[in-house]
């Protein structure tokens, strides 16, 4: 039996997730010298450089998840549902980056992060029904999102004087 090699799918999947990742990194790195560095942050947050590399890892894992979903066969309704959940999760994640780093709406960003975590759980449940190998990549993403969500909540609590819904820079 011939094993299919989907190098093109892998490259497209990684690019599809690394482009939003690049936008997220841009929003993160451009906010470091100004607004973000002035925030009170919880002690468990690593250095900005470590966060930078963690974000690269996150979006690579998302790309590998997308690849695994795609290879499970988009002709199955269960796989199509997993793909829809995945795309919606990625969209919400980008909305979180824009809310937190661009709009500086840390409470609104926390609300969105709760939605991201809920959608990752929905995506994981759907993946376990249709594209099981993607779970190996989604579970670490879920763990990272829970840590980011908790850090976001702590930043909201530590910076109580900031506008809850952010400001337009």
Tell me the pLDDT tens digit for each residue of 147-158. 999 999 999 999
pLDDT computed for residue 2 by the predictor: 45
User: Which residues fall within 8 angstroms of residue 148, CB to CB, at 6 or more apart?
Assistant: 113
Q: What is the per-residue pLDDT for 160?
A: 85
Let me know if 140 is exposed, middle or buried by CB neighbors in 10 A (0-12, 13-18, 19+).
middle
Q: What residue segments make up the domains of the chain, in order of their start?
A: 7-158
Over residues 20-31, the pLDDT tens digits come to: 999 999 999 999
User: pLDDT below 50 — which residues of the chain?
Assistant: 1-2, 169
Q: How many CB atoms lie within 10 A of CB 96?
A: 24
pTM of the model: 0.89
Rounded to an integer, what distance in angstroms lies between the CA atom of residue 6 and that of residue 161? 51
**7-158 CATH choice from 1.10.3470, 2.60.120, 1.20.120, 1.20.1260:** 1.20.1260
Nearest to 19 by CA among 46, 56, 49, 48: 56
Supply the pLDDT for residue 35: 86
């Amino acid at each position: 039996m011939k094993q299919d090699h989907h190098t093109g799918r892998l490259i497209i999947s990684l690019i599809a997730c690394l482009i939003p990742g690049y936008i997220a990194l841009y929003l993160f790195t451009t906010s470091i010298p100004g607004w973000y560095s002035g925030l009170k942050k919880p002690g468990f947050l690593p250095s900005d450089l470590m966060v930078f590399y963690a974000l690269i890892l996150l979006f690579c894992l998302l790309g590998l998840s997308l690849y695994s979903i795609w290879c499970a066969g988009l002709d199955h309704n269960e796989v199509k549902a997993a793909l829809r959940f995945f795309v919606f999760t990625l969209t919400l994640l980008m909305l979180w980056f824009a809310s937190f780093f661009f709009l500086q709406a840390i409470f609104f960003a926390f609300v969105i992060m709760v939605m991201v975590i809920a959608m990752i759980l929905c995506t994981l449940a759907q993946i376990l029904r249709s594209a099981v190998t993607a779970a190996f990549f989604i579970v670490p993403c879920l763990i990272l999102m829970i840590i980011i969500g908790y850090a976001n909540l702590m930043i909201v609590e530590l910076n109580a004087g900031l506008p809850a819904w952010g400001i337009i820079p």
